[in-house]
Structure formats: structure tokens, C-alpha cells
Amino acid sequence: MKIEGVPFQVTDWSRVAETRHTGETGFALWRTLEIGNIRVRLVEYSPGYRADHWCSKGHVLYVLDGELTTELADGRVMTLIPGTSYEVADGAEPHRSRTEKGARLFIVD
């Protein structure tokens, strides 16, 4: 990832508007900044959330709270807890997320 066109800034995430995204089950609340060539998000998944699609976009994802299960199209399944992350390149391995209890994430892509 090469970050371009992003001046130094401080973000008060409580002032960033939420958008709601429905999953196959549950929903996600995104607070999103699109700056320069990157997107930075604070995402909260509701209990019972399951993504409605396989994603092939690259991300750096860090779990702040809760528990997140990420499955890869090849059948691998990873469970992430607070303090863990995953990193994946654009087009590398299709993945999708779910959570039974809910999760809060910080994502850069």
C-alpha cells in the first residue's frame, strides 16, 4: 500500500457520520473517511452479522472489540479477537466475515 495525498490529520470518530450496511444477516455500521488514495473505516458488526458477499479487496483489518470469524473461499476459517489483525492484498484470497456476538473493527483499504 502506498499512501498518497493524505495530509496529517487527527480524526474524532464520534463526529464521522455512520452508514448502515445490511448483511446476509445482521448489519454493519461504518464510519468512513476517504482521503487521498485510501479508505479508513471504523466498523461495528451487529450480533449475528454475516457478510452478503465474498470480498476480493485488500485490507488491513484490526479487531478492537468482540470476535470476528473470517472465512476464505478455499475453506480456511480464522477467528480474530481484540488485538489481532489480518492483512490481505487486492485480488489475493476472497474472504467474508461473520460474528455471533458482534465486533468492532478498524480497517484501512
| Dist CA 64 CA 56 (whole Å) | 22
pTM, entire model: 0.93
* Contact assessment for residue 16 and residue 43, using Cβ atoms and an 8 Å cutoff: no
The third-level CATH classification (topology) of the domain covering 18-95+102-108 is Jelly Rolls (2.60.120)
Q: Give pLDDT tens digits along the chain (109 positions).
A: 788 999 999 999 999 999 999 999 999 999 999 999 999 999 999 999 999 999 999 999 999 999 999 999 999 999 999 999 999 999 999 999 999 999 999 999 9
pLDDT at 1: 75
Q: Where does the chain show beta strands of DSSP type E?
A: 18-22, 27-35, 38-45, 59-66, 68-72, 77-80, 85-88, 95-98, 103-108
Cell of 26: 445482521
**If we measure between CA atoms, which residue out of 63, 39, 83, 20 comes closest to residue 97?**
63
Tell me the three state secondary structure of residue 14: helix
Domain segments of the chain: what residues? 18-95+102-108
In sequence order, what are the beta bridge partners of 21? 28
